[in-house]
A and B are shown apart, each in its own frame.
Chain A
């Protein structure tokens, strides 16, 4: 039976490929696919996905090879960035609780 961590990794991969195979090149996210992914999957973590300029900026930041698409490795940077933010949030939260 897969562990929690393995299941989590598998679901990240599944989410990526579900959106990546929607249109155009499958295996990479176009700008529209990235927007859909963020709107549907990250609505609690990110509030800026309604802002087209923010999507453009995230897309540009992620697309390290400059081909206008986000491949899985580039998508992993988004996950890493979100995890770091989430971890910092958690640490601050723990400190606050400790003080009380």
Chain B
């Protein structure tokens, strides 16, 4: 579990390339490379842009670490819900 947390953190940090926040291009790349299996339309730049503005709580046009964690939390919750739903159906 600790290594999973480390991956979540280092994935973000390696995408920011030393800057404090993730800009639009970096976010596009992160979503496309890391979340293509979970989400649809990761290749569609306008869809990713829309998602980015949805995450951008402080409206600075960038994705902060906190805003990135909002996305991860949301994805993990829906993934968990769909998994438990699937096992309930199977039993």
Binding site for B on A (CB under 8 A): 1-13, 15-17, 27, 37, 41-42, 44-45, 72-73, 76-77, 79-80, 82-84, 86-87, 90
A74 to B83, CA, bound (A): 17
| B45 neighbours in A (Cβ, 8 Å) | none
Q: Is the interface of A mostly helix, strand, loop or mixed?
A: helix
Bound CA–CA A84/B35 (angstroms):
21
User: Which residues does chain A contribute within 8 Å of B35, judged by CB atoms?
Assistant: 3, 5-6
B57 contacts chain A at the CB level, 8 A cutoff: no
Per-residue 0/1 for B1-33: is the Cβ within 8 Å of any A Cβ (1 yes, 0 no)?
A: 111111111111100000000000000000001
Cβ 8 A contact of B5, one of A7, A16, A82: A82
Interface of B is mostly: helix
Q: Min CB distance, A18 to chain B, in Å?
A: 10
The answer to whether B2 and A44 touch across the interface, beta carbons within 8 angstroms, is yes
Are A5 and B8 neighbours in the complex by a CB distance under 8 Å? yes
Q: Which of A8, A77, A87 lies in contact with B13, CB distance below 8 A?
A: A87
Contacts of A2 in B (CB 8 A): 37
Whether B54 is near chain A, meaning CB under 8 Å from some CB there, is no
User: Which range contains the number of B residues in contact with the other chain?
Assistant: 20 to 34
Instruction: Say how far A25's CB is from chain B's closest CB, in angstroms.
Output: 12
B43 proximal to A (CB < 8 A): no
> Once the chains are docked, how many angstroms separate the CA of A15 from the CA of B79?
13
Instruction: Tell whether, in the assembled complex, residue B38 and residue A86 are in contact, meaning their CB atoms are under 8 Å apart.
Output: no
Closest residue to B77 on the A side, CB-wise? A73
* CB < 8 Å neighbour of A5 from B11, B65, B77: B11
Smallest CB separation, B79 vs chain A (Å): 6
Q: A84 with B34: in contact, given A72-B80, A73-B77 (CB under 8 Å)? A: no
